[in-house]
Amino acid sequence: MTKIFLPDTKATQQLGITLGENLTAGSVILLEGDLGAGKTTLVQGIGKGLGITESIVSPTFTLINEYTEGRIPLYHLDLYRLEPQEVTGLNLESYWEGWEVIPGIVAIEWAERMPYLPNSYLQICLNYSENGTRQAEIIPVNCTLDFLQEC
């Protein structure tokens, strides 16, 4: 596990940029954290790192936003309004297994609502520390992230 302190929004977005510049197609990022903890800000940074110029917004009501203009596609999902049994029917695995879409980076907000997980993923928990700054706890599961040593 890697812990990165994020003193402000700019630092959260910079972490996302680093991820977007370094992750490869097929990467899955499971995002957890309270409302306002910076999940969407992190995904906006990932988009910048991928070269996406389109405005990235949380897909709270649409569930999935697809951005295909960057280095590789970004699929941004938000499960906030769903119960685990509702998530099961979405067949989200098609995004990381490439069944119906061009392989890209899949970023899932409120991933703790998923009743199933991909074989490999990057879990990022965004939390507030005691002094009000944010902290990212990054846990790679069956993947490596050597580039994060620079963060």
Q: Which bin fits 132, alpha (ψ -120 to 50), beta or left (φ > 0)?
A: left
What pLDDT score does 151 carry?
A: 39
Choose among 92, 88, 95, 79: nearest CA to 26.
95
- For residue 124, give the CATH number of its domain: 3.40.50.300
Residue 146, domain extent: 2-150
What pLDDT score does 150 carry?
A: 43
The structure tokens listed for 91 are 């067949």
What pLDDT score does 13 carry?
A: 96
What pLDDT score does 49 carry?
A: 97
The stretches of 23-146 forming alpha helices (DSSP H) are 39-50, 84-88, 93-97
CA distances from 22 to 18, 60, 72 (A): 6, 26, 11
Question: What DSSP state is assigned to residue 74?
Answer: E
The structure tokens listed for 88 are 């099961």
CB 13 within 8 A of CB 40: no
Say what the pTM is. Answer: 0.88
d(CA 68, CA 45) in angstroms, rounded, equals 15
Look at the chain and report how many structural domains it folds into.
Answer: 1
Choose among 131, 148, 132, 109: nearest CA to 1.
148
What pLDDT score does 101 carry?
A: 74
What pLDDT score does 129 carry?
A: 75
CB 126 within 8 A of CB 38: yes
Residues of the chain with pLDDT under 70: 98-99, 146-151
d(CA 15, CA 117) in angstroms, rounded, equals 23
